[in-house]
Amino acid sequence: MEQREARKWAEARLSPHRLAHVAGVAAMADELAQRFDADAKTCRLAAWLHDLLKEESEADLAAEAARRDLPEPLCLPFLLHASVMGARSQAELGVEDEVAEAISYHPIGRPGLGKIGQILYLADKLEPGRQYDGVEELRALARSDLASGLFATVQAICDFQTGRPDPSPVHPLTEQWLIELRGGRTRSQRTF
Ligand SMILES: [Fe+2]
């Protein structure tokens, strides 16, 4: 599947607000791909597809997740739009495994996440429409160093989730990923 076709789908299916976010994610994914030597077309494809099901009903998504026999950790309500789209992209759209992985795990990440998934995660959290304390610093860091930007962004999202008045638990895969990223960042810093 070509990213142009995915873009047309997004334009036809999503509300203006969501479409503006997705367009921002595609632009930032393109930029990060070019900076960090990933395939920009593939990253834009993942970006245009990543929230395509975000406005579908939870009941429909849960039914499709059950039909596709998705594992339980990917069936939490807030994850269904991602995990179902990842599985559907792989089964029906013929996308590469790494694109399907990027879409499936974009809300939470996971240990060992590939470069397309790393770029999509960052673009989703840092695209130009995102406004929150510290986002400018995270954007600047992500643009200069993928590993450090990723670690800082995942840490910031975890801190936000656990520190707000109505805290929500961090997904176990995100916790494991953060530990992995902390180790990787330490290793890369030792080389300088
Ligand atoms: Fe998104």
pLDDT-based confidence at residue 67 (cuts at 50, 70, 90): very high
CA 21 to ligand 1 center in whole angstroms:
7
**Residue 141 confidence (pLDDT):** 97
User: How large is the C-alpha radius of gyration of the chain?
Assistant: 16
Neighbours of ion ligand 1 (CB under 5 A): 51, 124
**Tokens 């795990």 sit on residue:** 105
**C-alpha 191 to ligand 1 mean position (Å):** 34
Overall fold of domain 3-190: Hypothetical protein af1432 (1.10.3210)
User: How many whole angstroms from 7 Cα to the centroid of ligand 1?
Assistant: 14
Over 60: is that where the pLDDT of 190 sits?
A: no
Please give the Cα distance from 82 to 47 (Å, whole number): 11
Q: From ligand 1's centre to the CA of 48, what distance in Å?
A: 9
Question: 189: burial class by Cβ within 10 Å (0-12, 13-18, 19+)?
Answer: exposed
Indicate the pTM of the whole model: 0.94
The reported pLDDT for the residue numbered 192 is 33
pLDDT in tens, 87-143: 999 999 999 999 999 999 999 999 999 999 999 999 999 999 999 999 999 999 999
CA angle 127/122/143 to nearest 5° reads 80
Rounded to the nearest angstrom, the distance between the alpha carbon of 109 and the centre of ligand 1 is 13
Instruction: Compute the distance between CA of residue 17 and CA of residue 12 in angstroms, rounded to an integer.
Output: 13
Q: What is the structure's pLDDT at 185? A: 63
Cα 151 from chain centroid (whole Å): 14
The tokens describing 94, both together, are 């013929």
Ligand 1 centroid, distance to 58 Cα (angstroms): 17
> 83: CA distance to ligand 1 center in Å?
13
Residue 50 pLDDT > 70 = yes
Cα of 126 from ligand 1 centre, angstroms? 10
Q: Tell whether the model's pLDDT for residue 22 goes beyond 50.
A: yes
For residue 179, report the distance from its CA to the centre of ligand 1, in Å: 24
State the CB neighbour count (10 A cutoff) for residue 4: 11
Cα–Cα dist 166/170, whole Å: 13
Q: CB-side exposure of 119: number of CA atoms within 13 Å?
A: 28
Residue 190 Cα to ligand 1 middle (Å): 33
Using the 8-state DSSP alphabet, how is residue 89 labeled? I
What pLDDT is attached to residue 73? 86
Predicted local confidence at residue 1, as pLDDT: 84
When the pLDDT of each residue in the chain is averaged and rounded to a whole number, the result is 94
Parse the chain into domains and list their residue ranges.
Answer: 3-190
